[in-house]
């Protein structure tokens, strides 16, 4: 390891890490929002509603992300009609945005399946209870099913975020200078295979560590009613009456 070389590359590696974070969070945010309606459709009882999202997730989860990136970056150019105009000049011929699109579509497939699992584990009795209270379908989803789903899927969701972070490195294959891309550029300048790749790996490790910690914190906040009840100087009987938002505390 030559620390002078790493010091020289360090500013560029950090710049690459910034790009990596952009490639992680923008597609993740878009995919998370879009996957809510898709997951609801995916868990429908009607075959014709279910089949569309099911086919989508089957294809996007069953093929390598690299193929998806290449299809968007190189493949679209095959169609003459798409090779002009605003969309082509600003987005489809730009590797950065092509990677963004591919990551969004890919994340969308994985998160949809995750949410489907979360929705299907909500006990049917709760949905019936919500209906008995006169809630509309939309209200049932917004107030009962989706909040429960979030709590169920959060550990798996944070795994998904880590996988997604690692997957952003594929953008370097289509010339985007993310963290892996920068490390590769420095490697080809100096032919030192260890310094730059290990330094980049170390930065990925830090990012994974911070992201998993933050998500663990959110998990802890959302799991308030699953923690043992603290008696803050009250009589135990009073503490058993939990606040109406989370329902009766029950045995911890």
Partner 1 sequence: MDPFWSYGLMIAGGAGWTLALILAVIPVGIVLGLLGAAAKLSSWRVLRLGAETYTTFIRAMPELLVIFLVFFGGARAFNWLLAAVGFPEIQIDFNPFLAGVIALGVVQGAFATEVFRAALLAVPAGQIEAAQACGFSRWQTFRFVTLPQVWRLALPGLGNLLQILIKDTALISVVGLADIMRNAQIASGATKQPFTFLLLAAAVYLLFTTVATAVMMLLERRANHAWRRA
Residues near partner 1 (CB under 8 A) are 58-59, 61-68, 70-71, 74-79, 162, 165-170, 172-173, 180, 183-184, 187, 193-194, 197-198, 200-201, 204-205, 208-209
Q: Report the 10 Å Cβ neighbour count for 188.
A: 9
In terms of CB distance, is 140 or 172 closer to partner 1?
Answer: 172
Nearest approach, Cβ of residue 145 and partner 1 (Å): 26
Contact 220, 213 (CB under 8 A): no
Contact 118, 153 (CB under 8 A): yes
Nearest approach, Cβ of residue 46 and partner 1 (Å): 25
Handedness of CA 40, 42, 43, 45 (dihedral sign): positive
> Which alpha helices (H) appear in 121-176, and where do they start and end?
124-132, 137-139, 146-167
Nearest approach, Cβ of residue 74 and partner 1 (Å): 4
In terms of CB distance, is 75 or 217 closer to partner 1?
Answer: 75
Distance CA 156, CA 109 (A): 14
Burial 82-114 (b: 16+ CB within 10 A, else e): eeeeeeeeeebeebbbbbbbbbbbbbbbbbbbb
In terms of CB distance, is 154 or 179 closer to partner 1?
Answer: 179
Nearest approach, Cβ of residue 174 and partner 1 (Å): 11
Nearest approach, Cβ of residue 86 and partner 1 (Å): 21
In terms of CB distance, is 205 or 222 closer to partner 1?
Answer: 205
In terms of CB distance, is 144 or 211 closer to partner 1?
Answer: 211
């Amino acid at each position: 390891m030559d620390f002078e070389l790493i010091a020289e590359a360090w500013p560029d590696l950090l710049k690459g890490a910034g790009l990596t974070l952009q490639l992680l969070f923008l597609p993740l945010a878009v995919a998370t929002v879009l996957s809510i309606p898709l997951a609801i459709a995916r868990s429908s009882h009607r075959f014709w509603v279910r089949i569309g999202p099911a086919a989508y997730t089957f294809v996007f989860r069953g093929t390598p992300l690299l193929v998806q990136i290449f299809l968007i970056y190189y493949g679209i150019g095959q169609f003459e009609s798409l090779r002009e105009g605003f969309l082509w000049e600003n987005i489809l011929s730009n590797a950065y945005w092509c990677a963004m699109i591919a990551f969004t579509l890919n994340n969308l497939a994985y998160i949809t399946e995750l949410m489907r699992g979360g929705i299907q584990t909500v006990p049917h009795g709760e949905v019936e209870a919500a209906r008995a209270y006169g809630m509309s379908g939309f209200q049932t989803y917004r107030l009962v099913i989706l909040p429960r789903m979030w709590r169920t899927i959060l550990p798996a969701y944070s795994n998904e975020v880590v996988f997604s972070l690692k997957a952003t490195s594929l953008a370097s294959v289509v010339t985007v200078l993310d963290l892996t891309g920068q490390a590769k550029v420095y490697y080809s300048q100096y032919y030192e295979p260890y310094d730059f790749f290990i330094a980049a790996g170390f930065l990925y490790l830090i990012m994974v560590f911070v992201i998993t910690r933050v998500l663990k914190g959110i998990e802890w906040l959302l799991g308030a009613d699953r923690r043992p009840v603290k008696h803050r100087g009250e009589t135990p009987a009073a503490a058993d009456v939990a606040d109406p938002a989370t329902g009766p505390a029950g045995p911890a």
